[in-house]
Chain A
């Protein structure tokens, strides 16, 4: 398969902390990739850089030959529309109804004067409703988003992503605040989108079990470094242990981060307070 997404030595610094360190990655179109690693490893930062919610400090991100990191203005907005994002906290407009939240996925596709006045066409409405029905929440269309359960809100967010008619979907820990049943519903929704529309999915996950069950490829980050890249079966216990730093004092990657810190006193878990 052709390489759809390429990360070329992408780094991101926050002050003198390196969140992501020279990541190089090639992802074929249609993959379902799980990004794993412990808290603070840089998973969110990688996804946010792809959608350009965060700017890389260096390196390039390329999508189908087009340099995403060079886009500006209108083109950047168009890219964001093609690259839908799903968040752990759903990031819906709590006081707007479900329908409007889903229609927001079409903002970049209609002229500003119509979107700002809320004059959505019948086609837009039909697309939004069929996305909602696809995830069994069509009857919730008129409800305010904050009246929904977490699992329902996340499915609304996925519907919003889907009506963007994206080429790739980035999901940042989409199930971290959900119970097991909703976890299944949300992951199944992502899997079906991936299967039926061939949309590439990149999904940050905390749970190895879920990652193994749904992804056809896993990418492991530790301390901002890429430390694993392969099929889920290749991630044996030793590799997982390395990735999560269980029982082991530190990985090579953590050593590298420590070198950059001016003061050595930062405990390893310090990054865990950030999200």
Chain B
């Protein structure tokens, strides 16, 4: 269609082809430097992958044999069945405990992370040095896995859900502190400037401009982390930090495969429920956030 309309441009361009090539040599090259570098990176990544598979002794034969095992286990697991009322009861208690660990852990982490993140954000911190130190500390908290924190806290307060809560608080102060501070830095500074211009100080800016603006974002982030902590805290039970993981590992050890599948089923249901609930909540908070002026 546009062929006729742009004919003059096309004719002019083709007539000028040689001199255009001379003026913009790079634009006519198919294999420019960037592409070569890109191809090289892809090949390097593939080579690394192959090396890794070889080095870790990955063998398709073993995997195929293992698949047979997997089918065998699946057979043993069907149908899911708690076996006895007492196991059903302890499973439900375990689930409740897992939920409580995730809830308390994330909640306390959010409460602690809020003041810390204010120190870590460029626009609300008291000084560059404080900001640097806070950020590095948050990195340290975050850099150690939840399981390791759980082991450490078990050493301090003993076995049980308390250690689990502390483990989640520890790592999530790191995670949320970092996420919060980034949300705070992304806040648009106009409202804060308005407060400054009226004679407000740093705390006034935080209270009347920054926090009202970023609160929905922070709440959404905390909810999302709660969601993922419900999933994560099933596992810390295995090492004795409370929750459903304990029952699960017990059943695996005693080869009660039907009970295992029953527990896993319940975990899946709970996780799905929490995900659904938290997603709805987050959407409600986010939907209410931007200025929907009529």
Contacts and interface: CB of A to CB of B under 8 A. Distances in A.
A116 B201 CA distance: 10
A85 interface: yes
A91 B198 CA distance: 11
Contacts of B195: 93, 104, 107
Interface stretch (B5-13, B30-38, B41-49, B205-213): B205-213
Nearest to B209: A93
A234 interface: no
A160 B194 CA distance: 10
A67 interface: no
Contacts of A78: 199
Given A91-B191, A95-B215, A100-B208, A53 B201 contact: no
Contacts, number: 95
Given A84-B197, A157-B194, 9 more contacts: A87-B193, A90-B194, A91-B190, A92-B191, A93-B191, A95-B289, A116-B207, A146-B291, A147-B293
Contact of B203 (A82, A96, A105, A112): A112
A93 B208 contact: yes
Query: What is the interface of chain A mostly: helix, strand, loop, or mixed?
Result: helix
Nearest to B288: A95
B198 A84 contact: yes
A163 B45 CA distance: 64
Contact of A91 (B193, B201, B216): B193
A6 interface: no
A183 interface: no
Given A94-B291, A96-B208, A80 B198 contact: yes
15 contacts: A51-B197, A81-B199, A84-B198, A87-B194, A90-B190, A91-B194, A93-B194, A94-B291, A95-B215, A104-B194, A104-B198, A107-B204, A116-B207, A147-B294, A160-B198
A80 B280 CA distance: 44
Nearest to A76: B199
Contact-residue bracket for chain B: 20 to 34
Contacts of A81: 198-199
B196 interface: yes
A95 B293 CA distance: 12
Contacts of A80: 196-199
B197 A91 contact: yes
B66 to A, nearest CB: 55
Interface of B: 190-191, 193-201, 203-204, 207-209, 212-213, 215-216, 289-294
A4 B211 CA distance: 37
B110 to A, nearest CB: 19
Nearest to B291: A146
A99 to B, nearest CB: 12
A116 B203 CA distance: 7
Interface of A: 51, 53, 77-82, 84-85, 87, 89-96, 100, 104-105, 107-108, 112, 115-116, 146-149, 157, 160-161, 164
B200 A77 contact: yes
B193 A108 contact: no
Contact of B199 (A107, A147, A148): A107
B201 to A, nearest CB: 6
Contacts of A90: 190, 194
A77 B201 CA distance: 7
Contacts of A164: 198-199
Identify the 9 closest CB pairs spanning chains A and B, nearest first: A108-B199, A146-B291, A81-B199, A91-B194, A85-B197, A80-B199, A107-B200, A93-B191, A91-B190
Q: Which of B196, B199, B215, B290 has the most CB of A within 10 A?
A: B199
Contacts of B204: 104, 107, 112, 115-116
A95 B190 CA distance: 13
A53 B193 contact: yes
